[in-house]
Structure 1
Amino acid sequence: MESDENDPGLKSKNIDRPPDENENQPQLQTESEIEVIAYTDESNNNLRSHPDEYDNDPTTPDQSESESDESDSDSEEDIPDESLGTTILREIQEGTYICLVCTGEIDQHSKIWTCIECFRVYDLDCIQDWAIRGSSTNKTSKEWRCPSCNHATNKIPKKFTCWCGKITNPDKNTLMPFSCGNSCNYKYDDCIHNCLSICHPGKHPICGAMGPMMKCKCGKDTRQLPCLITPYDKGWRCEEECTVPVCDLNHKCGKGCHAGFCGLCQENVTMKCYCGGSELSLKCHEKVLKKCTDANGDSWIGIGSCGQTQKTYYDCNEHFELRSCQPPISHVRKCKFSPDVITTCYCGKTKVDVKHRTKCTDPVPECNNVCGKLLPCGCRCKFKCHEGECECISVLDIKCECGHESYLAPCKYVQSGMRPKCDHKCSVLLNCRKHYHRVECCPSEKIGIARERERKKAIRNNTRSNFREDDMSIEAAHICTRTCNRLKSCGKHECQALCHSGPCDVCLESTNEDLVCHCGKTIIPAPVRCGTELVCHEQCIRQPPCGHRPEHHECHDDSVSCPKCTALVTRECDCGAKSDLPGILCSQERVSCGKMCMVPKDCGHACLKTCSADCTKKDIHASSKNCQSYCKKVRTSCPHLCKLKCHFNKVGSSKNCDVVRCTEEISVTCECGRLTKKIKCGASVNEPSAIGSVLECDETCVAAKRDAALRAAFMGTPEESTDESIPYSEDVLTTFSKQKSWCSKIESIIRTFISDYNTQIENGVSSPKKSYHFPPMTAPQRKFVHELGAAFNAYTESQDIEPKRSVFFVITRLTTVPAITIEQALEHQAELEAEKNRVKEMKQEDIDEALFNGIVIQDLFFGVTIEDLERELRPLCQGKEDYILQWLKDSIFMFYSPDKFKNMDIEEENGLYLLVKSFKKVLRDKSLAFDCKLCLVDGSASFILKTDSSRANSVPVEEAPKQSQNTFDILQNDELVDGV
């Protein structure tokens, strides 16, 4: 007999049953007992629904009548007469239910949320705030806990629903607040029924319905029990015995009522063992009968082996064989070590000398050859000739189960039938033609690939005749076992079949309501299968809302609209410009007069809609939601214009224009200005603009810079003569002289913008504005801005098209502010020109008669600075502290006094002459310069009029001496050039 776990009376749900004297009885005996238990469960339904609400449990159903009678008077006072759901509803109706978050009252007008674990009710706003900012909220996992029961969840309540959750924002219900009035329809977890109560709070009542008709396990009897005690999982047993013979001894099955096969015979059988030495008791299905006969002629039937071993001697009485319990042999066997039996060595390759081995006890000689016996696995024994069993030590190359990888494995492992597995995942498409197998080391992969190849070949050759062959020939491993879950053609129900290719089968769901057309003349009686379409050929009786005569058409479903009215009427256009447009269909929704709206939107672009009511009657022309113009606003990450479609939002601020990288081309140069390259701006939200970036000078730049320095130091061939004290180009100066007011304004804007930028940097502003957009201007004006930007070492670029082409100015890391303004540069240039003219007007006789007033130091070595000269030469200048050392150009320095240009005397000139000798010695000993000489400098210290040389009357500063000369080259008076 089985245990009471199969007893239908002890099934099923998580309920508290009263103690029972017959707890160990296997099953219900009578129908009356079933009825009593069902009645007891129903009478205590409400009690067992909410066991946590009561402090004192009522009497159990199996107590005596006297005990229940004595407690009747107390039960009415101790047991509450309402459940948890009733309490919640009553307190909400009275407005006394407390929200644990805000400690306020919840009434019928509140919006609530209830916990699915403890059924506690909260204000929706309170529980949302608690879920986001409560003390139990985990900021990382977004998990929060119910304030009452600590039930954890990570879903933040967002909707106000009825108790059962079917309806959002339920209508006011005075009798049952927040109830939708429909059946709860909650599916019980442990039975087949649903909750039939009206949408309610709290726990669901225990199912009180009758269960389905259930057969016993053997199928001979049928019963119907209350759902509470219906054994859904284990079924129930009848009292009939199973009489099926289960063995050759005609033993009967002893399981009683059961399902499935009876199984092997479990009766115990006692008989002798094979050797006859003991009695064995075995299960009937474990016996193996053999006929046994001993040497004395006694016979018996053995049932099995007793496990004992016996010695069986050969005819020599020396050697024996240990045999486990087996039927006795009828004759004495010849010794297997006899010289007549063994005539060779163990491997059989060498004959045994019969003279040396005359009896079975003599040892068998071993030869020096390899054994080489053929083993059962097919290999040869690799040991030397030996006694005993051979053992295979071969290592074989074996494929994995799918054949994708090869491994080395011992022969014993190969013979065991096991195969290694690789990590290769199967790439075969399953029969559903949607999913791939993706199982590691699939043994059916090659078969599936070959099948798929043949399928594709048949499709190409148009020889595929039966599409069902694919499903019939597919491997079992490549059949998809997922559920389809796609909506069927009805659009309401999901396909529950296995995942498959092609369309799903028709929906077999049906309804118990008749399908009636709108006019009521065509009816399809129930049951009506899901997806059935009703076709009615009667005239549709619906009246159009416009009041005109209805169009002639057949009756149809409510989901299909009637034909549009074709009556001609007079209408007003959408924008309201014309109010009497004739010949318009009554059903025509939009009437256009063709006028285009030019009202600007919030984003600044014109509306450009053709006769739209959105821009006139509804007065929402400012909305830029559907603006089709291009943005053309200045990007925040770079000074270029945004090329995206207008993305102005409703609140009036521009969205980020930098979501895409800027593709405008810009020019970047190296520090020396020799290399120039066109690259993409590349500015975006996370990437800075390439504007202002500097290319790395290559080896050619370094060589060119070195050659220029060496040429200036040694060869004396200066570059084009320019006045480096003026940082502005000739075009800037010319334009400024013509348009002084406008050019001064542009220069002031740039200087102020750079000053503000530097101030923001000093104040710690993280992202100061680096670009300034000038308004549209003409080509000459744009050229002036470009030239002026070059003087400031800034980046400038023109953008947009004529006549709106403008220039933007961008500050880079190389940007500097010139020391003088354009106006000051013009004044300085005028002074230089005047001085140059004055020098040219000087007479040669005055120059020849003038005394030397300075010392020129020429041909400085590479790397020597003015600080080095000051440090070495200043100690020699005793009495000449008012003399200064000034750089003129390239590697030429001048030592002179600003106060003694015209009042030099012979004594001071002699002092300079003596100082030249001291300078020359120090310069050459310290390797500072090649030479120094007396010179005559003009009043502006810009020109060297003459040097201490008989071959020259005047020498320009730009001409540096060559390495083979120690004096300046002789030039004519009219070749004097500006100094630096």
Structure 2
Amino acid sequence: LKCVSKWGRASASDAPPAPTTSTAAQPGWRCPGCQNVSTNIPNAYTCFCGKAQNPPVNHFLVPHSCGETCLKERGCPHKCSVQCHPGPCKPCEAMAPPVSCHCKRSTFVVRCSELANVSFDPSCGEICDKELNCGNHKCTRPCHSGPCLPCDITFTQNCHCGRSEKTIPCGTPPTLFSCTATCEQPFSCGIHSCQRGCHPLANHTTVCPSDPAVIRRCPCGTKTVDELTHGNCRQTCEDPIPTCDGVCKKVLFCGHRCEVPCHVGECPPCQESMVIPCRCGRTHPSIPCSTLERDPATGEPLPPLCDRVCTTMRHCRRHRCGDRCCPVVDFHVCDLVCAKTLRCGKHNCTLGCGHEGRCHDCMEGVSFEELACNCGLTRIFPPIACGTAPPTCTQPCTRPSPCGHPRYGPHNCHGDDEPCPPCVIFVERNCACGKKSMKNIPCSRQGLPSCGESCGRTIPGCGHVCQRFCHSGSCTDETNRCTAKCGRSRSVCGHTCGFTCHGKAYCAEDRPCLAKLSQACRCGNKVQQIVCGAWKESIGKSAASPLPCDETCALAERNRRLAEALEVDTSPNAPPITEYDDALLRYAHHNLAWARTVEKTLKEFLEDRTKRTHHFPHTRSGRAPFIAGLAVHYNLVGEVVDADSGRGSVIVRKTASRLPAVPHPLISSAAARHIPS
């Protein structure tokens, strides 16, 4: 194929050069299908099975197929029997040779494809019954792969003297051990006993160490017993051992000699001192010999310990030594446990800290029971490593819906840690406040729905109405408080309490009242707003004095008297006086009764807030301009329609820019006092 050949040559030429240090420095080319880079550049066009070169085009076959049987090896005695095909061969469906179980007592006949399955375990399920490592017991586990576990049976082993015992695993040679107790085996004299540590009975002597046949010299060894007793030899082991007048001179474990006169028994502690290097070799203190400790194995004095703490990193590179007077110079072995979490996520590594390689596989939680999915159709056969997740199942989930509705759109089987999809059925439920029944509520929705209206329930304790939107639970809690004003009458001043609800049945009145009061002077000309400020601490105190009058009060009094003399209304609430033109006044003066009818109609139109326009029908000549002109004084817009006919009608409209109002005085009142010129 020219296209593929061109692709291969171009891909190989575009590949970057391989490093000279690589032994496999070969040019590569990318497959046009999977984009995998291969070092072998194809130079021939073959079919999929490789038996035919340049296969002819056959429209009844798969493209690039020769049509012959594939016959590729599939890792089993049977070759692929499918026609020459692309991609990997299908799993073998033929029956494989008989397969023995792990204990070799049963055989299985399965398909070749099952042998290649990772989950296939040829276990017969019977007891293994193989001999364990101890040689005394047999394996009681079901037929399993790999070696049997070590024998977990233990035995009790006694020491040489028979007073101590320890537990040993089965299969350990039954050898006696030495405990820390004293032998205490009696000698032949029947008086003394062995004071050595626990030792084998074969090494035990029956002769008493104090027997006259054994003791022939004084304790220091200078003179014989006969010389010291002058012929009166000892008869029994209880007779005192004679001593000479010389110095003991025995070599002590510190290297000095005993300076005490010849004596029986152990030498007393040495009273001299010696300079000895500490264990780490950094210091050389002078220490009394009596304070030195002896090595129980060699009998040599142990070096003293200085106060220097070793801070060298141990071989694990995670911990520091931390030993006092550490004798190690180069390599510090970490004696801690690794304790890292294993892949199972439940158990920890028991190897030493800083061990080589990765942590061991978990052996504590190995299960020998089948691990199934939730529906039980997909299983993993034992042994199962600790932390293994349940198998992935492609079967439909069989869990019933907790609400009882049928499930729409089945989903695959899943574990208990993954919830089923929520129910998609819409149901009808009451709202949280119980006023409405809400429809089209998803069944899976948690809690009661809200209708969006005000709660309206009476809050216990304060008696206010809850202003929160429809909600569930109590109206007040730690996060939601009553936000209404208290509203109770304060006993000190009688005003309404303006603070936020206290939640009590009474006002504590521990804060000043916030009510606004008007304070005036004696004549009433000056008025100002003040805060009441009364509270429980102000009971019995005098009230605030009135405002003093000033020169403005005298001026206001003078103006008031002048207005009374001139009969002028000086009230601040008096409406402004409307001035009408002479044409309107003359027409109203001659048609006074009809003018009052128009005034009444316009007043009713102003009071009716539902109407935006009012239509006066066709009237006599001259009345339409009068109505349109009068509407202006009511802050309305009047428009004459059909004015050419001589009997036009009037449409009166309200506007948003001006507030309609009844004029003062009315035109009928002004026309009655009007004197036409």
Q: TM-score range by the shorter chain?
A: under 0.3
Give the helix-richer structure, 1 or 2. Answer: 1
What's the TM-score once normalised by structure 1's chain length?
0.20
Instruction: Kindly indicate whether structure 1 or structure 2 has the higher relative contact order, using CA contacts under 8 Å at least 6 residues apart.
Output: 1
Give the strand-richer structure, 1 or 2. Answer: 1
Larger radius of gyration: 2
What's the TM-score once normalised by structure 2's chain length?
0.27
